[in-house]
Amino acid sequence: MKSNINLLILVVLMASSASGKSDTDSEVFETQAPFLIEAIISTPYSAVVIHTNVDVINASDTGSITQFVYEAEVIETLRGKQHKQIRYTLYVEQDEDVILDTTPIIITLCSDNDEYYWPGVDAQFSGASSFVQAAKNNASQVDKHQSHFAFCGVN
């Protein structure tokens, strides 16, 4: 499996280099591609989304943790259940700033009883075509019956 992943990374990186991207774009992709592939393998849900809203549940309601509850339009599901819209929770330390980026991005999420949550690491990536293609290629090769996800505390 690991050699297949390494081969996939190499093929994706070679395709990226041949596509005429700027050096900066290629460098970002080359740096992030292994993390993207690991995130897709390590979470049950991946999609290209555009965030449409975020609600903040302040720490006074939840102790020392603030919850950002994001809503997004799903452009393309890469792994997991198909959705047109998705809602997920990001848990952060008190006083962190909320960001609502409305450009297309790839997110990878964990789930618990059909509720999605941010895995805490390596969960958001560029929505550029090279990233989306790498994500699609990787997602098509993962075990559809996988039940353990390394980035998720609850399976």
The full set of domains in the chain, from first to last, is: 2-139 (2.40.50.120)
* pLDDT value, residue 62: 56
* pLDDT value, residue 16: 43
Task: Answer whether 33's CB lies under 8 Å from 12's CB.
Answer: yes
* pLDDT value, residue 95: 75
Cα gap 39→96, rounded to integer Å: 23
Cα gap 43→16, rounded to integer Å: 25
Below-50 pLDDT ranges, the chain: 1-23, 155
* pLDDT value, residue 57: 85
